[in-house]
Amino acid sequence: MQATGMEGIEAAAFQHNWASSSTPSDPSPTAMTPVVARPNEFLMMDYSQLDMEECLLMFYSKFYPFDRIYRVKGPYFTRREFSMTLANQTYIRFLSFLGEADMRERIVQAKPIKIDIGAIYSARPSEKKSLMPASFSAIERELVFDIDLTDYDDIRKCCQNKKMCIKCWQYIVAAVKVLDAILRMDFGFVSILWVFSGRRGIHCWVADKRARTLDSGLRKAIVSYIEISRSAGKTSGNGANYSVSNGGSYNNSSAVESHPMIKRALSLVSPIFKQKILPELLSEDVENTDLATSLSGLCPAPNGLIEMWKKEKICDPLERWKTIVQQLCTSEKKQRSHLAEEFILHRLYPRLDSNVSIGLNHLLKAPFCVHPDTGKICVPIDPALIDKFDPDMVPTIHSILSKENGSDHLQPYLLLMDQFLESLNK
Q: How far is CA 360 from CA 218, 220, 236, 268, 351, in A?
A: 11, 11, 36, 30, 20
Phi, psi of 267 (to 5 degrees): -65, -30
- 84, 92 Cβ separation under 8 angstroms: yes
Q: Which residues contact 230 (CB under 8 A, 6 or more apart)?
A: 240, 241, 242
Residue type, 110: A
Distance between CA 217 and CA 208 in Å, rounded? 18
Distance between CA 102 and CA 384 in Å, rounded? 36
- The catalytic residue among 53, 54, 81, 142 is 81
Q: Would residue 332 show up in a list of annotated catalytic residues for this protein? A: no
- The catalytic residue among 146, 180, 208, 341 is 146
Distance between CA 125 and CA 141 in Å, rounded? 14
Distance between CA 100 and CA 107 in Å, rounded? 11
**Runs of H (alpha helix) within 259-377:** 260-272, 278-281, 288-295, 302-311, 317-329, 339-348, 354-358
Q: Which residues contact 148 (CB under 8 A, 6 or more apart)?
A: 197, 200, 201, 353
Phi, psi of 315 (to 5 degrees): -105, -25
- The catalytic residue among 53, 140, 148, 208 is 148
- 135, 341 Cβ separation under 8 angstroms: no
Distance between CA 403 and CA 397 in Å, rounded? 11
End-to-end CA distance of the chain: 41
Q: Which residues contact 49 (CB under 8 A, 6 or more apart)?
A: none
Partnered with residue 377 across adjacent β-strands are 370
Q: Would residue 208 show up in a list of annotated catalytic residues for this protein? A: no
Distance between CA 124 and CA 137 in Å, rounded? 10
Q: Would residue 81 show up in a list of annotated catalytic residues for this protein? A: yes
Active site residues: 81, 146, 148
